[in-house]
Structure 1
């Protein structure tokens, strides 16, 4: 079925959504971590209700649930489309001013509110695939929010198209928009039983045609260093500063086990925070690898480095604790290969070459897969996420909408 001539609404929705500040906060213990994420949730619910999606609602934890009823006589497994509403804490999401650069011709894009922020094809190679397309950026002082409001807008447009084009045959479709994905808590309060889906797809990937069935496995780690405090005027031979010990440990971490020194299927150890004082200090780490067994190896590397450094500080000690965060969703998806295969078929039908890839990161789908909802990740068109150079093209968003619609049809056809 040809879906090219649909009147797409993803771009206009996206331009509205990115102006709503939904930045999450890792220091908050609430769910959602920031109440302002519900501002977008309420907008989405109102738009869904206006479309005629009668059960759309925002729950107390900031999750949006909705259902597109089946329009076929077939018994089709329920599938879910999911995107997250929050933006990353790494860069301001307040006062986003989206700009549409129409008919891009390969030129440098200088963002007007800070002309030091420039998008160059040499630094953003996917721009070479955007000649003639319409590029959306922020104005130079904030992130854009394409991660993941592009996915939100695409799913919302797909809902609109399904409701207004009954010739697109599909089973029951569940919609889920989550808070706090950027701080690793995106599915903490998801009601899987209420969702009631057989399979899911997160719309949270990068270039057109990409579909991902593999993520990092992830642990968090905390190294607590117990030093020896003394009055600084009488510290000689007595003081062993936990802060300085922490600095030496971080400096001793091998470059080849750092994010900036790894690529492809290589894992890493990444210190993300240091706090404390002379007597006690803590280093927070994230540990990533595609193989679960290597997480323990990487944690042991931290432990060995710390032990080596502490040989020079006989009065000091340390303890390392680790905590699972998420696991490689491929372990689940390999047991249900048709879910990914249907995604690949949908991408083909939307006129693109599929690229099955691994993510050097995680998605809500990583945890959803282990919660009983196998969930690969599909491109949303977002690029340079978490920074002021973030961008997306309108044409890529429309391709993502077509992919969602084709996926709905593939599930119906093959049931």
Structure 2
């Protein structure tokens, strides 16, 4: 399996809450973006030149002066109901202004540092346009609004990049991007690795107590070549069954959960099954005891050996899980079922995963070593009990 590096999450589409509020109450989006962005950029410059206190009062004064123009823009575009929403929005904007003043009074200083990506490096796996995100920090590390940040490509691959940081990576390449806010600026390495196709193993089976294991994955770029530098996000529905560390899965308890892998605009899904180790299937009652619905019996067969296990009644998935040995991957056993049981596909040579209906007591499964020339069989026969529909 390829060596991969999972970095920070993919760049997010960033819009300030003030812009969103103005658009919702009817202000023209272009006007809202222009006004809010210009105010933020000018504030950063004044804070660096005149101090935070003077810049704050300037910001409030200019915001109030811009309010009539924004309101008139909304009035021209709204019907009666929209004007009612505008009135409510103006009230909300007043509350937001008060909150902003309280925040300022709490001691937030002028911006002194811009942080983009991880160590000023951003990996873009998106095929479609995506917005870069920059954190604006004051001297105490508090996060400030990032509305006024502007971007420009200064070297490298000819990526499509807007002043607001919307970037499109049509092909593989590296570029240098400058993010700036007033007098502040930082150069960012932009690594374009657009992913056309993402694939992950559909079934990921573990025993309780197994070490963490990397999810088998395959990523293909728009050029048809493998992509190994990733900004990937892996998630599971039930973190009590398994937890994640990058692209590694660590089993916790017996159960089953769904996993999702997101890379750029691509998504892949799969299943995680964690089986509880048992000595055998004799006496199991998965219909009454939920903790017995996913179990696995360890198997070690030398040449000429075989073992027979009784099966509980119900609808079962049987799968042999080969375990790694010092010599690498070992052979799989020959499987055979007997008694009141019907399986599809029928267990046999090269068939190690079957769905079986056990209709009555007395059904068994036999595992036999495949032949004298093969090394020992080391693994576990896993059983997943399903409710009959």
Do they fold alike, i.e. is TM over 0.5? Answer: no
Query: Which structure carries more strand by proportion?
Result: 2
Larger CA Rg, structure 1 vs 2:
2
Query: Which structure carries more helix by proportion?
Result: 1
TM-score (norm 1): 0.21
The structure showing larger relative contact order (alpha-carbon pairs under 8 Å, at least 6 residues apart) is 1
